[in-house]
Structure 1
């Protein structure tokens, strides 16, 4: 009887541990306005089959500062935001490219490898000020152009989507 009870306890403990492990990395549901929707081939969701992020959720991801010039700004600007790869890892993305869509429905395709080859960020601020829609926000895909001058090409510039609202993992 005691060994059977111990066996049940072990199975119960194993079940609890597996349950906790499967939800330990679950995404919280946004409590503020949704800034970014991520869909497509992702394993971690929080709203239906998508992952929605509010500002605080994005700020909780690995942040990076990129100090660079861009064709859209005067001089060098300090951009800050989550690394693209941090967003991909948060949603457990499985694909080869992202379809990044702006508020005006402009879209560009970015190879996922770009987020691992370079410190590409989804900038939320520029020079310490939150990016508003009129400032290319709320999110702006920023490559480290000054760090890697070869990125200043038409192909990469078209990937620098501003006013990002949605990402689809393909």
Structure 2
């Protein structure tokens, strides 16, 4: 019998009840082929998960940056996601399909901070899918650039 990890239990216990003053608002909805779907996470929920930091350049910023967030594969594994494609949707309705293999092959993160500062909704935040393009020449390709979803708001696993 397979038991859910403590992180999965934490994630799955996230409520969709109305917010109480001082609570962190929801920032990411995850639906589709999950053990218990849908799941809605706040920034505080994401920050309570194991942290990953990577340094890389991007095609939309100058120079190298240090991104902090959660490994996408860990997030999806802890939610017991089963599928081949993750459809990522941004606040501006940008939608892209990302193969699940990207998360298995590379340390892709859902970033909530860049260079130590929280990602602002006015500039790529509050969440941004970030690839470690600096570490892999194959990621320095326009096909992967389209998968860097800033202002990420929803994931749907199929």
Quote the Cα distance in structure 2 between the aligned partners of 1:130 and 1:113.
28
1:39 is aligned, of 19, 31, 35, to 31
TM-score (normalised: structure 2): 0.87
More helix by share: 1
Residue aligning to 1:163: 151
Alignment of 1:43-62 (within 5 A): 43-44=35-36, 49-62=37-50
1:79 and 2:67 are equivalent in the alignment: yes
Deviation at 1:40, TM superposition (A): 0.6
> Unmatched 5+ residue regions in structure 1?
1-17
Please provide the CA RMSD for this pair. Answer: 1.9
Q: SS where residue 62 of structure 2 aligns?
A: coil
1:28 and 2:20 are equivalent in the alignment: no
Decide whether the 8 Å contact of 1:102 with 1:163 is kept in 2.
Answer: yes
Residue aligning to 1:10: none
Quote the Cα distance in structure 1 between the aligned partners of 2:115 and 2:154.
24
The C-alpha deviation readout for 1:24-81, integer Å capped at 9, x for no partner, is 643222552001000011113xxxx301111121112222111011111111000010
Quote the Cα distance in structure 1 between the aligned partners of 2:151 and 2:118.
12
TM-score (normalised: structure 1): 0.81
> Unmatched 5+ residue regions in structure 2?
16-22
| Count of residues in Structure 1 that have an aligned counterpart in Structure 2 | 147
Decide whether the 8 Å contact of 2:88 with 2:98 is kept in 1.
Answer: yes
Quote the Cα distance in structure 2 between the aligned partners of 1:107 and 1:92.
23
Q: SS where residue 123 of structure 1 aligns?
A: strand
The C-alpha deviation readout for 1:115-170, integer Å capped at 9, x for no partner, is 11100001100000000112201111100011112201111000111100000001
